[in-house]
Structures are given as C-alpha cells and as structure tokens.
Amino acid sequence: MFLADQGRDAVIIRRIITFQKFPLIGPPSSIGEVFLGPFYYYLVAPFLWIFQSNPIGLAIGVALLSMIATTAIYFIVSKIVSKKTAFLFSIFIAFSALFVDIGRFSWNPNLLPYFSFITISLFFLALHGKRKLLYTFMFGILFGLSFQLHHLAALLVVPVALYFFVFLFRKKDWSALKVPLISLVGFIMTLAPFIVFELRHNFINMHNLFSLFSKQNIVSSGSFISRLADVTSAIIPFALHIPMPLFASSIVVSVVILISLILIRKKENPFVTFQLIAFVSLLIALSRVNAQAIPHYFHIVYMCFYFLLAYILSTLFHSKLKVVGIIITLVFVVIQAQSYSFFWKPSSRQYELPERIGKEIALKTQGERINLTTYPVEFTSRDCYQYYIEINGGNVIDGSSNEIAQTFFVLCDKKPCRIIDSDSWNIQMFGKAKIDTMWEKDGVTIYKLIHQ
C-alpha cells in the first residue's frame, strides 16, 4: 500500500534520514487538527535508509517489527502463564488475517496491538515481577510510545487502573503506589519532543484537543447497551475474519468471558484475570467513543481476545478434549489463510504510478521550486507524487506552506478535469493561471500551470 498516509510519512521520514528536518510531532490523528507524537517516524526511519529511500523498506520494517514483537510476546506469556498458552497465542497472532494485513504496509496504528499488549504485560510485571522498578519504568515508556501510535491507546488507562485497585485491595501492598508515579516519569520522557513542540507553539495541540471535546461529540451519546452491541458486533468479525451477525458475535464474546471466569475460578492466574478485566473494560470504554466500526479503532483489544481464546484452548490440551482444541486451532488457521490473497493475486504495486510520474516531473522541472496538487479530491494524495519528485531531484513546496511558485503541476485522473476556474481550493490558491502544457501518462493527465 502506498496511499495518502504512506506518501506523507515517506516524505517526512526521508527528511529525517537525510538530516534535513527532525519533526517534534507525528501524524495527524483522525479527530481533527490533533497530532500524535513523532515516535513512529523515528522507529521506521532506519528501514527507509537501509532500502535507500525505497518506501517498500517502510513496509518491510513494519513486517519485521511485527514478527519481533510476536516473538517477544511468546516469551512474555510463556514466562507468566505457560508455554502452551504462549504457543497457541502466537499462532493466533501470526495467522490472523487482520494482523497479516496490517503487517504488510506502513502506518502508525499497525504496530499498536503489539505495543498495547506488551504495555499492559509490563504493568502486570511491575506489580508481580521481581524487578519491579525496571518493569515500572518500562511500562511508562511503552505506554507513552503506544499513545504516540494512536490516541485510543489512552483507553489502556481503564484496565490498568481497575487492576491496580483490585491489586491494592487484595494484596494490601501499599508500596505499589509508587508504580503510577515512576511510570509517569517514563511516560513523560517519551513525549519530550511533543512537549517541546507544544511549548514552542503555545500548546496548539492541547487547545485543539480541548476544543474537540467541548464542541464535537467525541463521547457517544447513544444508549450504553446499543453502543456496546455495536462494538461487540464489529470486533469479533474483525478478529476472526468471519462475517457474523450481532447475535452470533454477542454469543462468542459471552462464551469467551464465561469460560474464562470458570477457569479463573477453578485455578486463578492473576495475568488471565488481568486480561479478562482488560477485555471487558476496553469493550465498554470503546463503546463510549463516538467512532465508526473501523478495524484499527479496536487495535487495543484484539490481543486480549486472542489471549483468552488461547488460554481456553490450552486447557483443552490438558483434557480429553485435546482433539477439539486442535480442530478449533486448525479451523482458525484455514479460515485466515483463505484471505491471504497475495499468494494468488498480483500485487497492486501502488508505488509504481507515483514513481513513474514523479521521475518525469522531476526531469522536466530540473530542481525548480514548484507547487503540486491532485484533482479531484478522491484522487490519491499529492504526497505520494511529491516523494518521488523529490528523490529524483525535484523541489516541491509542502502542501501546508503558503508559498506560491512560478509553476504549478496538477495531476488529474478523472475527467472532466476542472483546472481553470476550479472548485478546488488547492488549485485556487495558485491565483489566476493558464495552462502552459499538458500531457497524459498511465491514465493521469498532467497539467503545467503558470501565472496569467
């Protein structure tokens, strides 16, 4: 995939590896002019450098990081719970059609499932592990990094707080009160670049965030039951990759919760209890967010579901129902594998068109500073083309800049192309213009505009 977000990120990350600019903020979030932290850019930047500015390197970076994270999760779960649960859990992660899909292209939310699970695991170890101070500090750092991948990671506070109070009530270990204080230090450290940006720009992000909460309906006003039903009906089909009506999804969720409760009652494992609390509380928290049912909005809860499913099946392997556990696992893998279309369908190779057009424009402009846009709005973002123009020696003015060049290139893929007297602000901002030259390439009409 090489669409709007991938093109924008590639432009920014290339400036990092070429030492042109080191951003203090990250990608814009989906809730308006509120930006994430820059962690993702710096995390995947080495892969763009290794692959010599080929954006495929960013996708490979995400794939490798996903595999490394899956391996790390296996060792965490095998240490805390059991190797059998860890093995089954790893199978669900590795073969999940959803996770395979998000592991094949570059985008900041794609690594959130791994970071969120490791984050809450470190919190558990901060309370139960031997090296509490280390785990506490690492928890704060991972929480901050997860928050920079997507703002919905903030909802991890809900299960963390709930389990923390349960732990204090049952253990009466008041020394645990230092956990939130020490972890806060690690959290703030990860946000240092973002905080510097806010100080330089009069806390613009904070103002925008407060404005969103005060003027827009971020918190759902729908009934609790209907919203919870909406979340439940969405998350299970996404996680299992099986079309499923609301009733069936609700049954799956209820069965997983019920069996988990029964197993905890028979032989309590604190980590399993924590995961169950996380699963239920995150479903409730997500139901209060006024958002559409989009797969990446549930990235913080998929791992909890897969873990509970793995734990339930691992108990079958210790009983006469071992065959049932094996069959369920194999059925899951087969169903997921049916969605691996990349095995029998050609790749979309979405970078190739911007690459060809970018080279041509760069050759014609010879380093001249130019304005660039695409038309109509549905067309792929200009950033994909800007990236390839720049790596071929071109000089494109950023879309966020008010600078007007002498030359303006407009790329149009849908006729009629309203270029002169256009209804697009991105074209109007150039002022009165006339078409100097135009030509077609691979179904895209390229207009070179100059001032009238």
Q: How far apart are CA 314 and CA 326, in angstroms?
A: 10
The answer to whether the beta carbons of residues 276 and 285 sit under 8 Å apart is: no
pTM across the whole model: 0.92
Q: In this structure, what token pair is assigned to residue 133?
A: 């101070």
Taking alpha carbons only, the member of 303, 327, 306 closest to residue 317 is 327
Query: What's at 55, amino acid-wise?
Result: P
CA-to-CA separations, 422 to 54, 414, 434, in angstroms, rounded: 34, 14, 12
Q: How far apart are CA 322 and CA 314, in angstroms?
A: 9
Query: What's at 280, amino acid-wise?
Result: V
Query: What's at 233, amino acid-wise?
Result: S
Q: How far apart are CA 159 and CA 279, in angstroms?
A: 8
Q: How far apart are CA 90 and CA 96, in angstroms?
A: 10
Kindly list the structural domains of the chain, giving each domain's residue range(s) and its CATH number in brackets, ordered by start.
4-342 (no CATH), 352-451 (3.30.2300)
446 Cα distance to chain centroid: 33
Query: Which residues in the chain show pLDDT less than 70?
Result: 31-32, 212-222, 377-380
Instruction: Tell me the pLDDT tens digit for each residue of 23-50.
Output: 999 998 776 678 999 999 999 999 999 9
Q: What percent of the chain has pLDDT over 70?
A: 96
Q: How far apart are the first and last CA of the chain?
A: 38
DSSP 8-state secondary structure symbol assigned to residue 250: H
**Burial environment of residue 96 by CB neighbours within 10 A (0 to 12, 13 to 18, 19 or more):** buried
Instruction: Tell me the pLDDT tens digit for each residue of 357-409.
Output: 999 999 999 999 999 999 875 556 789 999 999 999 999 999 888 899 999 99
Residue with tokens 């969405």: 234
